Structure 1
Amino acid sequence: MLKFVKNHMDSISGIEIYPIISLLIFFGFFVVLFWWVVTAKKDYITTVSNLPLDNQNDTKL
Protein backbone atom coordinates (compact mmCIF):
# COMPACT_ATOMS: atom_id res chain seq x y z
CA MET A 1 0.00 0.00 0.00
CA LEU A 2 2.78 2.44 0.93
CA LYS A 3 4.61 1.60 -2.28
CA PHE A 4 1.47 2.48 -4.27
CA VAL A 5 1.12 5.83 -2.49
CA LYS A 6 4.79 6.69 -2.99
CA ASN A 7 4.67 5.81 -6.67
CA HIS A 8 1.43 7.72 -7.12
CA MET A 9 2.80 10.82 -5.36
CA ASP A 10 5.95 10.74 -7.49
CA SER A 11 3.83 10.86 -10.63
CA ILE A 12 2.22 14.18 -9.64
CA SER A 13 4.27 17.06 -11.00
CA GLY A 14 4.96 19.95 -8.63
CA ILE A 15 3.88 18.10 -5.50
CA GLU A 16 7.16 18.82 -3.68
CA ILE A 17 6.06 22.43 -3.06
CA TYR A 18 3.11 21.49 -0.80
CA PRO A 19 5.17 20.42 2.25
CA ILE A 20 7.20 23.61 1.96
CA ILE A 21 4.07 25.76 1.77
CA SER A 22 2.48 24.04 4.76
CA LEU A 23 5.69 24.45 6.79
CA LEU A 24 5.82 28.15 5.94
CA ILE A 25 2.17 28.64 6.91
CA PHE A 26 2.72 26.77 10.19
CA PHE A 27 5.90 28.70 11.00
CA GLY A 28 4.38 32.02 9.93
CA PHE A 29 1.33 31.53 12.15
CA PHE A 30 3.44 30.96 15.24
CA VAL A 31 5.77 33.87 14.43
CA VAL A 32 2.78 36.21 14.12
CA LEU A 33 1.25 34.80 17.31
CA PHE A 34 4.54 35.24 19.18
CA TRP A 35 4.86 38.82 17.88
CA TRP A 36 1.28 39.59 19.01
CA VAL A 37 1.92 38.20 22.49
CA VAL A 38 5.19 40.11 22.91
CA THR A 39 3.73 43.43 21.74
CA ALA A 40 0.38 43.14 23.56
CA LYS A 41 -0.28 45.91 26.05
CA LYS A 42 -0.28 44.89 29.69
CA ASP A 43 -3.60 46.68 30.32
CA TYR A 44 -5.27 44.61 27.61
CA ILE A 45 -3.84 41.36 29.00
CA THR A 46 -5.02 42.28 32.50
CA THR A 47 -8.51 43.19 31.27
CA VAL A 48 -8.92 39.99 29.26
CA SER A 49 -7.53 37.80 32.03
CA ASN A 50 -10.03 39.25 34.52
CA LEU A 51 -13.06 38.71 32.27
CA PRO A 52 -13.99 35.28 33.69
CA LEU A 53 -13.86 36.74 37.22
CA ASP A 54 -15.85 39.88 36.45
CA ASN A 55 -19.30 39.53 38.04
CA GLN A 56 -20.61 42.97 37.05
CA ASN A 57 -21.61 41.87 33.55
CA ASP A 58 -23.48 38.72 34.60
CA THR A 59 -27.06 38.58 33.37
CA LYS A 60 -29.65 36.52 35.14
CA LEU A 61 -32.05 34.45 33.10
Structure 2
Amino acid sequence: MFKHYFEQVHNVEVWPIISLAIFFIFFLCLILWVIQADKGYISKMKQLPVDDATLSTSNPEES
Protein backbone atom coordinates (compact mmCIF):
# COMPACT_ATOMS: atom_id res chain seq x y z
CA MET A 1 0.00 0.00 0.00
CA PHE A 2 2.66 2.52 1.02
CA LYS A 3 5.07 1.40 -1.70
CA HIS A 4 3.15 3.39 -4.29
CA TYR A 5 3.34 6.57 -2.21
CA PHE A 6 7.04 6.14 -1.43
CA GLU A 7 7.86 5.65 -5.11
CA GLN A 8 6.60 9.18 -5.75
CA VAL A 9 8.94 10.76 -3.16
CA HIS A 10 12.29 11.90 -4.49
CA ASN A 11 15.37 10.65 -2.59
CA VAL A 12 13.25 8.41 -0.36
CA GLU A 13 16.26 6.16 0.32
CA VAL A 14 17.97 8.95 2.25
CA TRP A 15 15.36 9.19 5.04
CA PRO A 16 16.03 5.80 6.67
CA ILE A 17 19.74 6.61 6.75
CA ILE A 18 19.08 10.02 8.32
CA SER A 19 16.75 8.55 10.95
CA LEU A 20 19.28 5.82 11.80
CA ALA A 21 22.02 8.44 12.11
CA ILE A 22 19.90 10.61 14.44
CA PHE A 23 19.02 7.56 16.55
CA PHE A 24 22.68 6.46 16.77
CA ILE A 25 23.99 9.96 17.56
CA PHE A 26 21.36 10.51 20.28
CA PHE A 27 22.21 7.29 22.11
CA LEU A 28 25.94 7.80 21.63
CA CYS A 29 25.65 11.25 23.24
CA LEU A 30 23.52 9.79 26.02
CA ILE A 31 26.12 7.10 26.75
CA LEU A 32 28.91 9.68 26.77
CA TRP A 33 26.92 11.90 29.16
CA VAL A 34 26.32 8.97 31.53
CA ILE A 35 30.01 8.08 31.53
CA GLN A 36 31.14 11.66 32.14
CA ALA A 37 28.35 12.69 34.52
CA ASP A 38 29.26 13.77 38.03
CA LYS A 39 28.54 10.86 40.36
CA GLY A 40 27.51 13.26 43.14
CA TYR A 41 24.84 14.79 40.88
CA ILE A 42 23.49 11.35 39.98
CA SER A 43 23.42 10.34 43.64
CA LYS A 44 21.61 13.56 44.56
CA MET A 45 19.00 13.04 41.82
CA LYS A 46 18.57 9.42 42.86
CA GLN A 47 17.80 10.44 46.45
CA LEU A 48 15.32 13.23 45.60
CA PRO A 49 12.13 11.11 45.65
CA VAL A 50 13.20 9.45 48.91
CA ASP A 51 14.16 12.72 50.57
CA ASP A 52 10.95 14.43 49.48
CA ALA A 53 8.75 11.60 50.76
CA THR A 54 10.67 11.49 54.05
CA LEU A 55 10.31 15.23 54.60
CA SER A 56 6.60 15.32 53.83
CA THR A 57 5.75 12.37 56.09
CA SER A 58 7.98 13.36 58.99
CA ASN A 59 6.67 16.93 59.37
CA PRO A 60 3.40 17.60 57.51
CA GLU A 61 2.92 21.06 59.11
CA GLU A 62 5.75 22.61 57.02
CA SER A 63 3.96 22.06 53.69
| Alignment: residue pair count | 57
Structure 2 gaps, min length 5: 57-61
Runs of 4 or more above 6 Å deviation: none
Provide the TM-score with structure 1 as the length reference: 0.76
Percent identity among equivalent residues?
A: 39
What RMSD over aligned residues (CA atoms) do the two structures have, in Å? Answer: 1.9
Provide the TM-score with structure 2 as the length reference: 0.74
Higher helix share: 2
Residue 34 of structure 1, CA deviation: 0.4
Hey, what's the Cα distance between the residues in 1 that align with 2:25 and 2:7? 28
Structure 1 gaps, min length 5: none
